Structure 1
Amino acid sequence: SFTYSLSLSRTSIGLISSETERLLGKFKEENIMVINYNNSIPILPSDDLPNPFGQLGVALSDSELRETAYEVFVGACRSSGGKPLTFISQSERSTERLPSMSSSPSLQRSLTSTAASKVKKALGLKSSKSSNSVSQNSVSSAKAKRPVTVGELMRVQMRVSEQTDSRIRRALLRIAAGQLGRRIESMVLPLELLQQLKSSDFPNQREYEAWQKRNLKILEAGLLLHPHLPLDKTDTASQRLRHIIRGASDRPIETGKHSESMQVLRSTVMSVACRSFDGSASETCHWADGVPLNLRLYQMLLEACFDVSEETSVVEEVDEVLELIKKTWVILGINQMLHNLC
């Protein structure tokens, strides 16, 4: 009996040990599976994340949207009166009182950072490391170069070349000369640019055709896909515009001032853009104020507030930059609520 009990105890102990080992083994396997599972979770790069403002439904790259946003910015600033694109930043205004030191760009940077920025204060932001290091060596700097204007700063921040900037301004001067007193919100900017710029204004034919297609895609997005006012399915002007844009994908449109194709395009675009709720013709053209096109363009402008060489820092002239960016509200249909959303 004793032998039997001892044998039974050993058997029980063996079973318990086996069960314990089995459970431990299972626990280890589950832990390994959890670890492997956690390690296998894909981390999507930011480029693959969906845009919170929605899809445009037309193939427009960020660089194309950025250039369009810059055209809107320059056009709005030129149309708003005064000389906003030669607006002098706080750093330049401050150094005008100190002629003996006005040639030092680093000193001007330090004076800007010393001035209280309303935007930085509100957001609790600090100056970038590069700005601080530059300001500490301000007096020792010997290079004599005046700082850029806010307009020039925007060009650099939005990665627009000097050649492209010059072409945009040249076209806007031509538009202003031919339509004195006409405000920017009463015209469809891509349409005006298409008429004013020719292939001779570009380095080569290929670049000109890419530019023309980009403007037509903007018109498609703003007037057909995301209009400010809903389109009637029976609207003949929108159908005609869709047909023109599709045809231009195969062959560039002749955009001469007196060309028949340009006159048809202008008539069609203005019919769609100048609609109102009551059906009457509106003095304001709606071509870039439909969601999400307006938000995407405005997003491109706001990104210029962040230092292009240090994305986590805002530029020192952020207050002046925002002051000019807000001039685009009338074109993009932006208000304070949408501004805060972006």
Structure 2
Amino acid sequence: MPGISAGGTLARYFSARFLAAMVAMFLICCVLIFFVDFIEILRRSGKYSNEASGFLLVWITLLRLPSFSELTLPFAVLIGTIVIFLMLSRTSELVVLRAAGVSVWQFTLPALVVAFLLGIGFVTVYNPIAASARGEAERLYSAAFGKDDSFLQSAGKSGAWLREDGADGPSVVHALRVLNQGLELRGVSVFQYNAKHELTERIEAKRAVLNNGRWDLEQAWVSAPGREPVLHESYLLSTYLTPTQVRDTLGTVYSISFWDLPNFIEIAERAGLPATQYRVQYQLLLSRPFLLVTMVLIAATCSLQSFRFGNVQINAVFGLAAGFGFSSLPEVSRNFAMSGLTSAVAAAWIPVIVAMSLALTVLLYKEDG
């Protein structure tokens, strides 16, 4: 029983040290990101608007901070783990533990568990908060700087295109401008089809506003095959999209909560929009806990050797370089998936599995021969 008690105490001690270091590094990253992003928003404020108050700019920066800082979590785990291993090495604690018969896996396991649980917490709790804050930040940003942004907006200069299946049948909607995070369209053209995909009517409207279950069109010219165009001051067009769904999915993929991604993937597919980037984001979030575990293993392979063979600085730099290099692989894989060269699952999981396998192999070779 004393051995079990000592083992539990040791695990709690290491877990607390690793958690404190990871959180400290994450907070440092948050501070750096805040100042960099605030300077960028100040620059844009001077370029696009003179009416935004300093408080509003700070508030927008704070709302954007969780989304940006979430991307730095793997680096925080990597650096925090390296720092703790080097500190334990410097104070000879690891030397004493190894002399007492404690294996490398016993004092690495707490870091692995902490990283895995931290990843789960960030994906399931922190990410939804960050996504919600990012959506609010983009709303305020749009209001302050007049930026048109919506998930409906296309990358080209020809306006926004949307294909959807409403209660009235399939329709294709084109808008010259997208305002109010996709809730309002200007210069609207609608091509309405029946179940046989035959054109039933064409609508040219000055403005369209999204409400629950419908688009409210203003000053709409409605024409149908064999009939003259008729002007309607107001005209209703059914849609399955709701204002809440549009607001929740405005802007970048980072403004979509982990819990909302599956539903949004379905919505995007029904709307005829490409859902690859959302599938990749969902898989990347699912693999996040294992990514953090891999970061711990990379840190261990490079920093545990220092207390036995020296070369602390060289090993630490090598560990940082390896970690930063690995962290870029998911983004490279994301681009491959977006290009259709690989699936979303492969793009998210193959880099993690390969890096984890390599780190485990190196660690096993160094410690167990």
Structure holding more strand per residue: 2
* Shorter-normalised TM range: under 0.3
Bigger relative contact order (CA 8 A; separation at least 6)? 1
TM-score calculated relative to the size of structure 1:
0.23
Larger Rg, first or second structure (1 or 2): 1
TM-score calculated relative to the size of structure 2:
0.22
